[in-house]
Amino acid sequence: MTELCPVCSHAVSPDDAVCPTCGFKLLGATQAFKPLSVEGDAVLACDVAPTRASLTVVRGPKVGMVYGLGSEPITVGRAPQCTIFLNDMTVSRMHATIEPEGPCYVIRDANSFNGVWVNNDSVEARTLRPGDFIQIGTFCLQYEEN
């Protein structure tokens, strides 16, 4: 069965490890993970000014990366089209959404394989509060407001 590359939309076979056209690494199925324990001072300082709020990666392959949150909903996942692209096998292609609701932001699980964890609790949806730790696959992000 032939599939399409999520980046360039050219045909790839299930045996391909990378897209023969654009070289995108094809990762296959989502893998299971164990939740991380968040302890101590896991916060990293950043120089990037957030919009209304921000997510900072504090554990995982992109430590220190800061994502600003504004007035538009965002998507989080392994699909390159996601607003926050987390390229790891423990992250579902479309893992979660984060939407502004009034002055707050709400994170919602998008039927992901490993779920969304906020402060070590598995959640379907949760209003985010400053200092919350969000775990998506092997990534742990901290939510902060301006």
21-25, 67-71, 130-134: the lowest-pLDDT one: 21-25
| 53-145 CATH | 2.60.200.20
- Residue percentage of the chain with pLDDT more than 90: 58
67-115 per-position pLDDT tens digit: 999 999 999 999 999 999 999 999 999 999 999 999 999 999 999 999 9
The answer to whether residues 108 and 99 touch, using CB atoms and an 8 Å cutoff, is yes
pLDDT band, residue 49 (cuts 50/70/90): very low
Q: Where are the domains of the chain?
A: 1-30, 53-145
pLDDT band, residue 26 (cuts 50/70/90): confident
pLDDT band, residue 9 (cuts 50/70/90): confident
pLDDT at residue 47 in the model: 43
DSSP states of 84-145: EE--STTS-TT-EEEEEETTEEEEEE-S-SS-EEETTEEESEEE--TT-EEEETTEEEEEEE
The answer to whether residues 87 and 27 touch, using CB atoms and an 8 Å cutoff, is yes
Q: Could you say which DSSP state residue 72 is in? A: S
Range among 27-36, 46-55, 57-66, 99-108 with highest mean pLDDT value = 99-108
Nearest-angstrom CA–CA distance, 142 and 55: 5
DSSP states of 18-30: B-TTT-PBP--S-
